[in-house]
Chains A and B, each alone.
Chain A
Amino acid sequence: MNIETVKERAGPREFSPKDDLPEEYRRAATRMLQFHANSEIMGAYLERPFIRQAPSLERKMAFSAKVQDEIGHGQLLYRAAESLGIKTREEMLRELENGAGKFLNCFHYPMEHWVETPMIAFFVDGAAMRRQATLKQSSWEPYAHAMDKVCFEEGFHVKHGEDILRELMSGSRKEQRLTQEAFETWWPRILQFFGPTDDQSSHHDFAADTGLKLMTNDELRNAFLNTYMPKAEKYGLEIPDEPRIRERDDGTYEVVEDDLDWEEFFTVAKNEFEPGRGQIDAHKQAQDAVQWVRDALDAGEAIGTGGGSPQAAD
C-alpha cells in the first residue's frame, strides 16, 4: 500500500499487522506509540514513591493498583508498537533507559509532596484520558484495542485523583494553601501537556491525514479546559493569572502561548532538562537492579523451548 492509499482508506481501526503498510506510516505510528508507552512507564515511576508516602491504607492500596495499571498500559502499548515491525520492545525499553526515548513533559518534573499527587492523578491523567478517548478511533487497530482497555481502567485513576484533591481542598488551611501552591507550579506544565499550538506541531499533518491522530493539540486542550477548569474552581483552586487564558466568543479557550516557557518545554522534549535526566537515570537504576530477574526468565525460556525447536505441532 502506498501513502496515497493509506490516506484514502484511513479510518477508525482500519489497518492491522496483516496490511502491507508503507514505512512512513509505520514509523509515524511507532513514534506515537513508543512515546505513549514510555510515558506510561515514567508516570508510574513518578507515582511509585507515593505508595509508601500515602497517608492512609486505602490510598496506599489505590496508588499501588494504579501504578500496576500504568505499567500494564506501558506493556500493552509496547506490544501495539512492536506489531508495526519497526522496533522491538527491547529496543524501545533500552532507548528509554539510555535517554533516547521521549515521553510526556509532565513526567520530567520530580514530584515530592503528597499535595502534588492530584496534579498528576487528576489533571494530567484527566488530560491524558481526554486524548486517549479519541485514540480509540486510531487507524492502527492494535493502538485502538489497547485504548479500549486503558480507558476502561483510567476512570478509576482520574476519580481517585479528584477524590484526593477534594480531600485536600476541604482539609486544613495549610493543606489548602500547599495544594494551591502545587497547582500553581504544575498548571503551566499541564497546559503544555498537549504540546505546541497546531502550526508549530511538526508531526500533526501526516498523523491526522493517516488517521493516527484524531484531534489537534488545540482541540484537545480546549476540551480539557472546558471540563477541568470548572472542576479546579469548584474545589476552591484559583487559576493563576498567567499564563493568560481568554474565552473566545464560541465558549472555547485560547491560551496565550507566549506566557508559557517553550524553551523549557523543548529542552524537556529533548530529554535535556536536568531534573528530567534524574527521572530517566532513576528509572535505569531500577531496571538494572532487577536485571537478574529478566536474565533468569530468559534462561528459563531457552530451556522451556528446547533451545529453539518449533512450538507448533505442524
Chain B
Amino acid sequence: MIWEVFRQESAGGYHTHCGNVHAPDREMALLFAEVQHGRRKPTNSLWVVPKDEIGEVDTEDAAFGGTTDKSYRFARTYNVEPAAEEVEESEKELTEAERERARREA
C-alpha cells in the first residue's frame, strides 16, 4: 500500500507534499516517512495519507481560473495607489500569481 507524505518544515508552516512510501499500515508508513523524508531536510511534522484516499483534478480535466479574461479580480487592474501596506502586499501576491498563470498559458 502506498502512502503520500507531507512535510512541515517548521511549526506554524504548511504541510507540503514531498513524496510517498510503501508501507503495510499507518504506523509503518510514519516510520518510513520519518526515515525517508525527515532525516536531512528540516522537519517539524509529517503527515501520511493513503494514496487511494486522494482525489485529483489537473489541467487535463480543468481550466483552472477559467478561460475568459478575469483581470477584474486582480488588484493590479484597479489603478489606484494601495491604501495601506497590507493592501500593497496582497497586490504583490496577486500580481505574482497572475504573472505565473500567464507564463504557463503562453
Contact = CB atoms under 8 A, between A and B. Distances in A.
A130 B12 CA distance: 21
Interface centre among B11, B79, B87, B97 (most CB of A within 10 A): B87
Contacts of B79: 163
A132 to B, nearest CB: 8
Contacts of A14: 11-12
Interface string A125-150: 01001101100000001001100000
Given A156-B94, A159-B91, A313-B50, A65 B73 contact: yes
Contacts of A129: 84, 86-87, 90
A61 B94 CA distance: 17
Interface residue range, chain A: 35 or more
A155 B89 contact: yes
Nearest to A313: B50
Interface of A: 12-14, 58, 61-62, 65-66, 69, 122, 126, 129-130, 132-133, 141, 144-145, 151-156, 158-160, 162-163, 166, 223, 227-228, 231, 311-314
18 contacts: A13-B13, A14-B11, A126-B83, A129-B87, A130-B84, A144-B12, A151-B90, A152-B93, A153-B94, A155-B90, A155-B93, A158-B75, A158-B83, A159-B80, A228-B84, A312-B53, A313-B1, A314-B1
Interface of B: 1, 11-14, 25-26, 50, 52-53, 70, 72-75, 77-80, 82-91, 93-94, 97
